[in-house]
Structure 1
Amino acid sequence: MSGKVKLIAVDKPGDIERKSFEIIDSEVPEPRRFDGIEWQIVRRMVHTTADFQLIDLVRFHPDAVASGIDALRSGCTIATDTEMARCGIPLRRMTPLKCSVSCLMNDHSVILSAKKNSTTRAHAAMELAADSLHPEIHVIGNAPTALIRLVNMVQEGRMAPPALVVGMPVGFVNAAESKSMLMDSGKIPYIAIEGRKGGSALAACVINALAEVVLAERDLSGDI
């Protein structure tokens, strides 16, 4: 290979994210499939993965964005299905909003319950979260069994529909099917991805995008 690689000039860490968003915007010109806050979410998903195919796979329940933002405004509880997703939603965004983020996968009672009932820990963690945390937002990026149990508990009347479910389990066994269950439930506001793609980082970045909207509102009003 001949010639020199031409690097993009960045002076500060924040410049990388800003420039990345500019590149994404330029490569997906208007009119886009999504606009407003939905585009901010989808753009962050593309930024997290460098996967433009996600634009064709993301699905929004009509109430998802408004319901999720209202929950964040009220200082909600968020439950994740992995520690990776929990760590992917940083305190610098959640603390000003008075929101908490929990993952119960390593809780001792979850481990015991999963062993006793021959279920996955994700299944058991979802039940414990519903009974003890009552999360307004669920972030599921890894475990189809967690999403399946959540949908079933809502359908059974064991728990009320959450304000928002970010449903993005990744993989080959029941990942696509669990997301179809969520989107077909008719009761649960969701942001989801059709098919096998997903992941903890991807699910977490959706909450970060929504949080940035609320943080920007409060910054303009002088609250933070």
Structure 2
Amino acid sequence: MTISTDPSTPAPGPAETGGDLLTAAGARIEEGSFAIIDAEAGSHDYDPAQWTLVRRLIHASGDFDFNGLTRFHPDAIAAGCAALKRGAPIVCDVEMIRAGVSKTRMSPLGVQAHQFIDDPEVIARARAEDTTRATQAMRRAAREGLLEGAVVGIGNAPTALLEVIRLIASEGVRPALVIGMPVGFVAAAESKDLLMRVETVPWIAVRGRKGGSTLVVAALNALMILS
């Protein structure tokens, strides 16, 4: 189904914008931004919950290409929201994501965010095995049992996403949701293409080279608002 947006589309309410965390002036600015995005985005094929997330990617980046580049496994939104409602951990590839996710939104859900890329053990293993720190960080999360049932957010390192895909395929690890949005020129697009072929675990991905930690933060915050 194609959903058309135009200037007459009602502004999103506080539950959709997260306006309960903003001052009145801040909420008006955010609602105005979303109204402009709705007016300028044109038609799209996303359902309302998916559009809530895509609109936040556009809001975070100023880039309307995410209307189209963003792809969803059919169960992605439901799986992500259900996981966050039960307090599942968020596992990130970099500190920027962990620091950026709203603590005010995580706290009522009992959610904690984790990253291991700066861990001395991870760095040592990466050097010893001639891999990236991002690869070893995901292996560390798997050893600690954090990936099982988790919401995984990858916005920086394609090798982290490739390792998560390997763990799913070869070791039976089952995150609740994988948000794959690594940015870059080496293996970024390819890693996301592989993710979009995964059938056993729900995912949200951005096709091509575009992506970034800011987008993953926006996606996670959108899921917590929807939760």
Normalising by structure 1, what TM-score? 0.87
Q: Deviations over 1:102-149 (max 9, x none)?
A: 111111111111111111000000000111142311000010000001
Q: Distance in 2 between matches of 1:46 and 1:88?
A: 17
> 1 CA distance for matches of 2:143 and 2:223?
26
CA contact (8 A) 1:182 1:188 kept: no
Instruction: Name 2:120's counterpart in structure 1.
Output: 108
Deviations 1:187-213 (A, max 9, x none): 221000110000001011111001011
Tell me the alpha carbon deviations over residues 126-185 of structure 1, each in whole angstroms, 9 at most, x when there is no partner.
0001111423110000100000011011110x2422110000010100000000111112
* SS of alignment partner, residue 188 of structure 1: coil
Deviation at 1:17, TM superposition (A): 1.2
| Count of equivalent residues | 203
Determine the C-alpha separation between the residues in 2 that align with 1:159 and 1:208.
28
Stretch deviating more after TM superposition (46-55 or 13-22): 13-22
Distance in 2, matches of 1:33 and 1:46, equals 15
1:207 aligned onto 2:226: no
Aligned to 1:151: 165
When the two chains are superposed, the root-mean-square deviation of aligned CA atoms in Å is 1.4
Unaligned runs of 5+ in 1: 1-9, 215-224
Matched, 1:178 2:191: yes
Aligned to 2:200: 187
Instruction: Indicate conservation of the 8 Å contact 1:130/1:159, yes or no.
Output: no
Q: Deviation string for 1:14-45 (max 9, x for gaps)?
A: 2221110111111135x532121101000001
Q: What is the percent sequence identity of the aligned residues? A: 44
Structure of greater Rg: 1
Q: 1:22 matched to which residue of 2?
A: 35
Structure 1 residues 11 and 204, CA gap change in structure 2 (3 angstroms)? closer
Where 2:184 maps in the other structure, the secondary structure is coil
**Aligned residue type for 2:74:** P
Amino acid at match of 1:73: K
Of the structure 1 ranges 145-154 and 158-167, higher mean CA displacement relative to structure 2 is found in 158-167
Q: TM-score with structure 2 length normalisation? A: 0.86
Q: CA deviation at 1:11?
A: 7.2
